[in-house]
Amino acid sequence: MIKDLPPNVVKDIAVAVALEGENPESKIWYVYLINLKNVPLENVLVTSKGYGEKDGELVKTSILRHSFPLVEANSYKLIEPIDEQTFGLNNEYWLSYYIGREIFDKKFIFLPESIVDDNFIKLPIVNKPGVMIL
């Protein structure tokens, strides 16, 4: 039962959308998992999907699944490239991982139009401009 699971709280873990580069036609964006902890994450699973309304119609993207056996302490992993055409949708990343024998999970959602220059910071560890959710 869900009530029997320990309330493991996800801290010091972020998902970020980073601007990798740009040319006259478009910008190149990547999504990263950032481990700000001093311990590694094991058996990491991330699912991603986009959903919302565009031009008055409901839109859903494919669900993508990513796994990483290990994300070292104070490091990051590239999850996937992201197309800026999806920035008008909710972009959801559901993360699950283990630390030792304990499991943790958290949902990170970039709301429509939240990935904009006004929200940019210098992403820790990745050292690129982008938007981050802790």
pLDDT in tens, 48-93: 999 999 888 999 999 999 999 999 999 999 999 999 899 999 999 9
pLDDT of 40 over the 90 cut: yes
pLDDT of 44 over the 70 cut: yes
55 or 128: which leads in pLDDT = 128
pLDDT at 2: 60
Distance CA 40, CA 108 (A): 20
Distance CA 68, CA 39 (A): 15
pLDDT in tens, 9-24: 999 999 999 999 888 8
List the domain boundaries for the chain. 2-125
Residue (of 14, 28, 15, 19) closest to 116 by Cα position: 19
> What backbone phi and psi angles, to 5 degrees, belong to 118?
-65, -25
pLDDT at 107: 97
Pick the CATH number of 2-125 from 3.30.70.100, 2.60.40.2420, 3.30.70.330, 2.40.10.340: 2.60.40.2420
> What backbone phi and psi angles, to 5 degrees, belong to 45?
-125, 135
Mean pLDDT across the stretch 114-122?
94
Strand partners, 29: 19, 82
Strand partners, 61: none
pLDDT band of residue 3 (cuts 50, 70, 90) is low
